[in-house]
C-alpha cells in the first residue's frame, strides 16, 4: 500500500564551495502530496535540482521507485515519469499554447494517447483550449502557470515536482491552481512534491510536509500536525 | 470603433516632432562639420573651407528625421490599435482566426503546387536566356540561399548565435580545392566529402561550446571563424594567401561542355555566345542543392529533432524539463547547420575556380547572418528571399558606386526598425477553430476541443512555412 516512490538519503549538494544541501533525508510514498517548506535560501529549489539531475549532488543516495537515480540525466528521468515544473514557469514564449503542450509529450510516441491527454488538459483548464493558438508569451501569469503544469502532465508523469506554483499569482488564481493540483493527485494518482513559500496553502493541500532550514530538513510530520502545532504556526505560518 | 490616421493626426505628429528633428539635424551638422566643409587638395597640400553644402545637409536630415519619427509613431499607433481591437473582441477574433496574410493566401491557394512548377520552369529556363554576368550573380545568390538556410538551422531554429559560420563554407571550399589540387579528385567525389568535413568540424566546434550560450557562444564562434581563416592563410599546404587556383569546374560525364553542347545551345537555343556553359551547369547543380536543402530543412524543422531545437531556443531549462537531451540537440544543430555551408563551399570553389582565405572573412559570416535576420529568423521562405535580396541588391546598387554599402546599411537599418521580424516572419502552427453549425461556439469550449483534438488535420491550415 505505502510504496516508497522517491527517497533521498544524506544528499549533499554544493555550488562550488558553498554547500546548499547538508545531508537531506526525505521520502515520498506513492500517491502522496508532500509539501517542502522553508525560507528563501533554505535549499528547497536545490533539492529539486538535485533530484532532477540539473545540479548533480556530491554525495548521498536518491532512489526513484527503487532505482538509484543520483546523477542520472534529466531527460532519462523524464522518460521514467519524474517530471519537474520549474520555478518561474519557463513556458516556451514563442511557441503557441498547443505547441507548448505537444512539447510536453516530447518523450512519448503514442500519438492517439497524446490526443487523449490534450483533451484531458483542455477539460482541466478550459481557458487553455481557447488560447491554444496564442503564443505562450502572451498569456497571463496564471494561465502560464496552468500551461506549465499542463505541459508537464503531457509527459504522463508518475511523479510531479512543482516548484513554487503560486509565485507571483493572485490569491484567487492560486486557489484554482491548487484545486487542480489536488485533482491531478486524486484522479490520476500522481505523486506530487510541492515546494512552496505559501506554507498555509501548501499545508491545506499536502498530506505530509517537510520543513527545511539552511540545507537541512529540520521538521517533518503530517500536514494537520503542522497546522495545529503552535510553534510551527509561529515560526512558519505567521501566527 | 475605427482607428484611422487623419490629416490632423499627421499635423500634430509633425508639430510635436519639430523640435527633436531640429535637434537631430543640428547634431548631424555638427558631427559632419569637418568632413562637409573642408576639402583637402593633396597635390599642393592645401585645403579649402566652404559652407556651401551645409544647408542641404541640414535640410535633408531635418526632413528625414521628421519622416522617420512620423513612421515610427504610425507603427506604434497601428500596434496599439491592433491590441485594442484584439482585447475588445477577443472571443470573436479567436473564432475567426487571424486575418490571413498574403503568404497564407498563397500557401492555402489551390494553385500552390502549380505555382511551384511554374517557378521551377522559370528557374530552369532562366540561365539560357541570360547574360553570363546574370548567371554568375544567380549562382552566387543561390549559394547564399544554401548558406542562409544552413545558418537558419543554427541561429533561427536553434537560437545559437554563430558568428563564424563562413569558416564551414571555407572548409567545404578548401576540401574540394585541396583534394582537386593535390589528388585530382573530381567535384562529385568532393561534394559529399566537403559536406562531411564541415559536419565533423561543426561537431568539433560543438563540443567546447555545449555549456555556452548567448554572448559567450558568439565570441567563441567568432574566434573559430577567424582561427580557420588564419590557419588557411598560414599553412603551406593551403598555399597561404596565394590560395588555390585552377580548380576544376564540376564535370558532366567527362564531356567538354564548351565544345559540342555549347555549339548546339548557341545555334539552336540562341544562348549568349560569350557564355561559359560550365557556369550554366554549376547553376543547375546549385539549384538542385537548394531544392534538396529546402526539402531537407523543412522536414527537419517539423521533426522531433526540430522541435527539440525550438525548445532549446525558447528556454533551456524547460527544454531539459521536457526530457530533451540538450547536448545532443546543440551538437546536431551545429553539425547539420555546417553541412550546408560545406556543400555550398564546394560549389563555390567549382564556380570561381580560385579560392584564397580572403574570400572567407568575418564579413562573410555577418552577411549570412544578415540574410537570416533580414529574411526572418526561422522562416524558410524568408531566408530564401533574404539571400536573394542581400546578394542581388549590392549588384543592383552598383549604380551608386561608392555609396553602395552606405545605402545597403541604411536599408538594413530601415528594415530592422519597420519589420523587426524579417521580410517574411516565421509563423507558428495556426489552427482555425471549428464551430457549431450556426457559426457560434457553445461557450464551454467543447466545440473548440473537437477542433483541436478531433480529426487528424482538416482544421490545420497554415503550418510553419
Residue A206: pLDDT over 50: yes
Position B407 in a domain: yes
Residue A39's pLDDT band (cuts 50, 70, 90): confident
When CB atoms are compared, the residue of B314, B323, B449 closest to A107 is B323
Position B108 in a domain: yes
Residue B212: pLDDT over 70: yes
State the pTM of this model. 0.77
SS3 A21: strand
Residue B175's pLDDT band (cuts 50, 70, 90): very high
Q: What is the model's pLDDT at position B79?
A: 66
Distance from A131 to chain B by nearest Cα, in Å? 8
- Mean pLDDT lowest among A190-204, B1-15, B52-66: B1-15
Residues paired with A195 in a beta bridge: A36, A163
Q: What is the model's pLDDT at position B458?
A: 37
Distance from B13 to chain A by nearest Cα, in Å? 30
When CB atoms are compared, the residue of A78, A93, A123 closest to B322 is A78
Helix (H) or strand (E) holding B60: helix B54-88
B377, B152 Cβ separation under 8 angstroms: yes
Residue A134: pLDDT over 70: yes
Percent of chain B with pLDDT over 70: 82
Across the interface, whether the CB atoms of B314 and A93 are under 8 A apart is answered yes
pLDDT for B15-54, tens place per residue? Answer: 777 888 888 888 888 888 887 788 777 788 787 888 888 8
Domains and their CATH numbers in chain A: 4-87+157-236 (3.40.50.300)
Residue B244 shares a structural domain with residue B364: yes
Q: What is the model's pLDDT at position B201?
A: 92
Q: What is the model's pLDDT at position B19?
A: 84
Q: Which residues from chain B sit within 8 angstroms of residue A79, using beta carbons?
A: 323
- What are the backbone dihedrals phi and psi of residue A27, each rounded to the nearest 5 degrees, phi first? -140, 150
Position B46 in a domain: yes
Residue A238's pLDDT band (cuts 50, 70, 90): low
Between the two ends of chain B, the Cα-to-Cα distance in Å is 34
Residue B219 shares a structural domain with residue B344: yes
Q: Which residues from chain B sit within 8 angstroms of residue A93, using beta carbons?
A: 314-315
Residue B113 shares a structural domain with residue B66: no
Position B335 in a domain: yes
Distance from B332 to chain A by nearest Cα, in Å? 17
> DSSP secondary-structure letter at B4?
-
CATH of the domain at B205: 1.10.3470
Q: Which residues from chain A sit within 8 angstroms of residue B323, using beta carbons?
A: 74-79, 83, 106-107, 155
Residue A231 CA to residue A229 CA, distance in Å, equals 6
DSSP codes joined into one string, A72-101: --HHHHHHHTEEEE-TT----TTSBHHHHH
Across the interface, whether the CB atoms of B311 and A106 are under 8 A apart is answered yes
Residue B185 shares a structural domain with residue B54: no
Residue B155 shares a structural domain with residue B49: no
Helix (H) or strand (E) holding A126: helix A126-130
Residue B36 shares a structural domain with residue B117: no
pLDDT for B255-283, tens place per residue? Answer: 777 777 777 777 777 777 777 788 888 89
Distance from A92 to chain B by nearest Cα, in Å? 5
Residues of B numbered 156-185 whose beta carbons fall under 8 angstroms of chain A's beta carbons: which are they?
Answer: none
Domain span including residue B123: 100-129
Distance from B444 to chain A by nearest Cα, in Å? 8
Q: What is the model's pLDDT at position B206?
A: 86
Q: Given the C-alpha cell 521538521, which residue does it identify?
A: A219
Q: What is the model's pLDDT at position B1?
A: 45
Position B54 in a domain: yes
Q: What is the model's pLDDT at position B441?
A: 38
> DSSP secondary-structure letter at A71?
T
The predicted complex's ipTM stands at 0.82
Residue A237 CA to residue A201 CA, distance in Å, equals 10
Q: Which residues from chain A sit within 8 angstroms of residue B379, using beta carbons?
A: none
Mean confidence (pLDDT) of chain A: 87
Residue A1's pLDDT band (cuts 50, 70, 90): low
Q: Which residues from chain A sit within 8 angstroms of residue B320, using beta carbons?
A: 54, 74-75
Position B454 in a domain: no
Side-chain half-sphere of A22: how many Cα atoms within 13 Å?
12
Across the interface, whether the CB atoms of A130 and B317 are under 8 A apart is answered no
Overall average pLDDT of the B176-197 stretch: 90
Position B440 in a domain: no
Residue B268 shares a structural domain with residue B300: yes
Q: What is the model's pLDDT at position B15?
A: 78
Residue B340 CA to residue B299 CA, distance in Å, equals 15
**Of B133, B129, B130, B162, which is closest to residue B147 (Cα–Cα)?**
B162
Residue B125 shares a structural domain with residue B147: no
Residue B200: pLDDT over 90: yes
Residue B253 shares a structural domain with residue B109: no
A11, A187 Cβ separation under 8 angstroms: no
Q: Which residues from chain A sit within 8 angstroms of residue B313, using beta carbons?
A: 94
Percent of chain B with pLDDT over 90: 17
Mean confidence (pLDDT) of chain B: 78
Residue B73 shares a structural domain with residue B186: no
Q: Which residues from chain B sit within 8 angstroms of residue A99, using beta carbons?
A: 310, 428-429
pLDDT for B347-383, tens place per residue? Answer: 999 888 888 898 898 888 988 998 888 888 888 888 8
B453–A contact, CB cutoff 8 A: yes
Residue B324: pLDDT over 50: yes
Distance from B306 to chain A by nearest Cα, in Å? 11
Position B303 in a domain: yes
Residue B453's pLDDT band (cuts 50, 70, 90): very low
Residue B158 shares a structural domain with residue B70: no
Q: What is the model's pLDDT at position B82?
A: 62
Q: What is the model's pLDDT at position B94?
A: 43
pLDDT for B95-132, tens place per residue? Answer: 444 445 555 555 556 677 788 888 888 888 888 888 88
Across the interface, whether the CB atoms of B431 and A133 are under 8 A apart is answered yes
Overall average pLDDT of the A19-31 stretch: 90
Residue B430's pLDDT band (cuts 50, 70, 90): very low
Residue B449 CA to residue A119 CA, distance in Å, equals 7
Residue B157 shares a structural domain with residue B291: yes
Residue B55's pLDDT band (cuts 50, 70, 90): confident
pLDDT for B376-415, tens place per residue? Answer: 888 888 888 888 888 877 777 777 667 777 777 887 788 7
Q: What is the tally of structural domains in chain B?
A: 3
Q: What is the model's pLDDT at position B85?
A: 57
Amino acid at each position: 500500500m505505502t510504496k516508497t516512490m522517491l527517497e533521498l538519503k544524506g544528499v549533499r549538494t554544493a555550488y562550488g564551495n558553498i554547500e546548499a544541501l547538508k545531508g537531506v533525508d526525505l521520502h515520498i510514498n506513492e500517491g502522496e502530496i508532500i509539501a517542502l517548506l522553508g525560507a528563501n535560501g533554505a535549499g528547497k529549489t536545490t533539492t529539486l535540482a538535485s533530484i532532477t539531475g540539473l545540479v548533480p549532488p556530491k554525495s548521498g543516495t536518491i532512489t526513484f521507485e527503487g532505482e538509484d537515480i543520483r546523477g542520472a540525466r534529466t531527460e532519462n528521468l523524464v522518460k521514467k515519469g519524474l517530471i519537474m515544473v520549474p520555478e518561474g514557469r519557463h513556458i516556451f514564449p514563442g511557441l503557441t499554447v498547443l505547441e507548448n503542450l505537444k512539447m510536453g509529450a516530447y518523450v512519448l510516441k503514442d500519438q492517439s494517447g497524446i490526443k487523449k491527454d490534450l483533451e484531458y488538459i483542455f477539460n482541466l483548464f478550459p481557458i487553455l483550449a481557447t488560447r491554444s493558438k496564442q503564443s505562450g508569451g502572451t498569456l497571463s501569469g496564471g494561465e502560464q502557470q496552468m500551461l506549465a503544469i499542463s505541459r508537464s502532465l503531457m509527459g504522463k508523469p508518475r511523479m510531479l515536482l512543482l516548484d513554487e506554483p503560486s509565485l507571483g499569482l493572485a490569491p484567487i488564481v492560486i486557489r484554482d491552481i491548487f484545486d487542480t493540483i489536488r485533482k491531478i493527485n486524486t484522479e490520476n494518482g500522481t505523486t506530487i512534491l510541492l515546494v512552496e513559500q505559501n506554507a498555509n496553502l501548501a499545508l491545506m493541500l499536502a498530506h505530509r510536509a517537510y520543513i527545511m532550514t539552511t540545507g537541512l530538513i529540520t521538521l517533518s510530520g503530517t500536514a494537520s500536525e503542522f497546522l495545529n502545532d503552535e510553534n510551527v504556526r509561529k515560526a512558519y505560518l505567521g501566527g | 470603433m475605427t482607428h484611422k490616421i487623419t490629416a490632423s493626426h499627421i499635423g500634430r505628429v509633425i508639430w510635436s516632432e519639430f523640435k527633436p528633428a531640429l535637434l537631430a539635424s543640428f547634431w548631424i551638422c555638427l558631427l559632419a562639420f569637418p568632413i562637409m566643409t573642408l576639402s583637402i587638395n593633396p597635390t599642393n597640400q592645401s585645403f579649402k573651407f566652404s559652407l556651401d553644402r551645409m544647408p542641404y545637409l541640414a535640410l535633408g536630415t531635418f526632413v528625414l528625421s521628421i519622416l522617420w519619427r512620423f513612421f515610427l509613431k504610425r507603427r506604434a499607433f497601428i500596434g496599439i490599435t491592433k491590441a485594442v481591437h484584439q482585447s475588445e473582441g477577443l472571443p470573436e477574433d479567436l473564432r475567426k482566426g487571424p486575418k490571413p496574410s498574403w503568404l497564407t493566401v498563397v500557401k492555402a491557394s489551390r494553385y500552390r503546387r502549380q505555382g511551384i512548377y511554374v517557378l521551377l520552369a522559370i528557374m530552369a529556363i532562366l540561365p539560357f536566356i541570360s547574360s553570363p554576368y546574370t548567371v554568375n550573380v544567380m549562382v552566387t545568390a543561390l549559394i547564399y540561399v544554401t548558406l542562409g538556410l544552413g545558418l537558419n538551422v543554427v541561429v533561427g531554429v536553434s537560437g545559437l548565435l554563430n558568428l563564424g559560420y563562413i569558416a564551414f563554407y571555407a572548409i567545404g571550399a578548401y576540401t574540394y580545392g585541396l583534394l582537386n589540387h593535390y589528388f585530382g579528385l573530381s567535384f562529385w567525389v568532393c561534394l559529399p566529402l566537403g559536406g562531411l568535413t564541415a559536419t565533423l568540424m561543426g561537431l568539433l566546434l560543438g563540443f567546447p561550446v555545449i555549456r555556452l550560450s548567448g554572448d559567450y557562444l558568439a565570441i567563441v564562434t567568432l574566434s573559430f571563424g577567424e582561427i580557420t581563416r588564419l590557419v588557411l592563410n598560414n599553412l603551406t599546404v593551403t598555399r597561404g594567401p596565394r590560395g588555390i587556383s585552377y580548380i576544376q569546374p564540376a564535370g558532366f560525364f567527362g564531356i567538354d561542355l564548351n565544345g559540342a553542347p555549347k555549339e548546339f545551345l548557341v545555334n539552336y537555343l540562341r544562348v549568349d555566345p560569350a557564355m561559359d556553359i560550365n557556369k550554366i551547369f554549376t547553376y543547375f547543380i546549385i539549384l538542385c542543392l537548394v531544392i534538396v536543402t529546402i526539402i531537407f530543412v523543412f522536414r527537419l524543422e517539423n521533426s522531433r529533432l526540430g522541435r527539440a531545437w525550438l525548445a532549446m531556443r525558447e528556454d533551456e531549462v524547460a527544454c531539459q524539463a521536457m526530457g530533451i537531451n540538450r547536448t545532443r540537440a546543440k551538437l546536431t544543430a551545429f553539425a547539420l547547420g555546417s553541412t550546408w555551408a560545406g556543400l555550398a563551399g564546394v560549389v563555390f570553389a567549382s564556380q570561381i575556380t580560385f579560392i584564397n582565405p580572403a574570400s572567407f572573412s568575418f564579413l562573410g559570416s555577418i552577411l549570412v547572418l544578415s540574410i537570416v535576420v533580414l529574411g526572418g529568423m526561422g522562416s524558410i521562405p524568408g531566408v530564401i528571399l533574404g539571400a536573394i535580396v542581400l546578394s542581388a541588391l549590392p549588384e543592383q546598387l552598383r549604380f551608386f558606386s561608392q555609396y553602395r554599402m552606405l545605402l545597403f546599411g541604411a536599408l538594413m537599418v530601415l528594415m530592422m526598425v519597420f519589420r523587426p521580424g524579417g521580410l517574411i516572419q516565421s509563423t507558428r502552427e495556426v489552427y482555425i477553430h471549428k464551430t457549431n453549425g450556426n457559426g457560434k461556439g457553445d461557450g464551454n469550449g467543447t466545440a473548440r476541443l473537437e477542433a483541436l483534438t478531433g480529426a487528424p488535420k482538416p482544421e490545420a491550415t497554415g503550418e510553419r512555412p
